[in-house]
Amino acid sequence: MRPKVTRLLIAALLIPACSGGHAITAVKDAPLQSPAPQSTDDRTPIIKVVVLGSGNPVPSRTQAGTAILVEAGGDRFLFDCGRGCTTRLAQHDPRLVSSIDKIFLTHLHSDHVVGIPDLWLNGWTQGRGTPLSVWGPTGTGAMMEGLRAAYSADISYRLPTGTTDPAALTREIHLISENGVVYDRKGVKITAFRVHHADIPAYGYRIDYGGKSVLLSGDTSVAPNLARYGQGTDIALLEVASPPMVDYVQRSFPPEQADKILALHLTADQAAETFAAMSPRLGIYYHTVSNCAADKALMAMTRESYSGPLTIARDLTVIEVTQDGIHIDEPGAPEECSAE
């Protein structure tokens, strides 16, 4: 069992745990004055982010596929639902399996959507009474219709039992085809913006609530919209291809093919420049293959051109944006780092 690490970020420079044990907060710029006395309200999360899955398409023992849960305004919003998404939801809070009913898809690559049928059907059988609303690019409706067809036998077995609500099998599809606000309710505003993932329809999202904000990139290479929509956000999550992944692709494929693969994603130096352009209060890498060596290489390359607060997401990392700062509660370093 990895140790958990909790830390409060106030103008702090974060480095990954594997680069130096588990003491991972180093204050770079001390606050100019003492923080105001904390009240319950100061520590109440305004926006909460749970990294359910931090991984990429490569199957992993420690990283589920991409899935990010955002809580704001008393509601919950799921961004992508990759491999193991429902399992991680249950690990975080078993009640969420039957209560999540809003999914925002960045794009339709399978590593971002393969967990949807599990959540859709398990949520239904465990008591969800509302339709599943899905926001996503062109093709989202056809995919959800295909899932209904693929699981028609299972549905036909369970429906007659009368123990499940047929309404929860309904899918409400909200197609995204341009930049703009796609959800605006009870003070929670979610804006989709186009990113660059070859010629695949792909979107990042910005979530605003209570004067706080979170951006997540989805899969993308360099895209001007990241800086445009990520300007001054509290939390910015960027996908990245770690240096060892770049090396692997370049070794394993002919140059032309390798270039095409790598052009789908941000390299560490490109991500560093993007973070610098956005200046978030906290930058987070996700969609990684995370291990000690990869994390070290990723941070080293990033630090060549970006010095802001930054961390690498692990599964079930929880980040809370409150009035008094940004609080991170995360599992410890990858296991192989603990021996160092």
**What minimum distance in Å lies between the beta carbon of 294 and Zn ion?**
16
- How many angstroms separate the CA atoms of 180 and 205, rounded? 10
Residue closer to Zn ion (CB basis): 109 or 296: 109
Residue closer to Zn ion (CB basis): 106 or 164: 106
**What minimum distance in Å lies between the beta carbon of 158 and Zn ion?**
31
Q: Put residue 127 in one of left, alpha, beta given phi > 0 → left and psi -120 to 50 → alpha.
A: left
Catalytic residue among 111, 208, 219, 315: 111
Residue closer to Zn ion (CB basis): 168 or 226: 226
DSSP letters spanning 264-299: TS-BHHHHHHHHHHH--SEEEEESB---HHHHHHHH
**What minimum distance in Å lies between the beta carbon of 111 and Zn ion?**
4
Residue closer to Zn ion (CB basis): 237 or 328: 237
Query: Would you call 111 a catalytic residue per the annotation?
Result: yes
Size of interface with Zn ion, in residues (CB under 5 A): 3
- How many angstroms separate the CA atoms of 159 and 169, rounded? 10
| Residue 80 near Zn ion by CB under 5 A | no
Of 320, 337, 314, give the one whose Cα is nearest residue 9. Answer: 320
Mark 194-223 with x for binding to Zn ion (rule: CB under 5 A) and - for no binding. Answer: -------------------------x----
Give the β-pairing of 67-72 and 47-53: antiparallel
DSSP letters spanning 20-89: BTB--EEESS--SSPPPPP-HHHHS-SEEEEEEE-B-SS--SS-PSSEEEEEETTEEEEE---TTHHHHH
Residue closer to Zn ion (CB basis): 18 or 266: 266
Give the β-pairing of 171-175 and 132-136: parallel
Answer whether 300's CB lies under 8 Å from 269's CB. no
Neighbours of 212 (CB within 10 A): 19
**What minimum distance in Å lies between the beta carbon of 276 and Zn ion?**
23
- How many angstroms separate the CA atoms of 281 and 232, rounded? 7
- How many angstroms separate the CA atoms of 80 and 333, rounded? 25
Answer whether 193's CB lies under 8 Å from 206's CB. yes
**What minimum distance in Å lies between the beta carbon of 257 and Zn ion?**
16
Residue closer to Zn ion (CB basis): 79 or 124: 79
Mark 95-134 with x for binding to Zn ion (rule: CB under 5 A) and - for no binding. Answer: --------------x-x-----------------------
**Structural tokens at position 276:** 């610098």
**What minimum distance in Å lies between the beta carbon of 332 and Zn ion?**
25
**What minimum distance in Å lies between the beta carbon of 67 and Zn ion?**
11
Which residues, numbered 308-337, are part of the site for Zn ion (CB under 5 A)? Answer: none
Exposure of 190 in the CB half-sphere (CA atoms within 13 A): 27
- How many angstroms separate the CA atoms of 236 and 226, rounded? 9
Residue closer to Zn ion (CB basis): 71 or 219: 219
Residues carrying an active site annotation: 111
Residues lying near Zn ion in the complex (CB under 5 A) are found at: 109, 111, 219
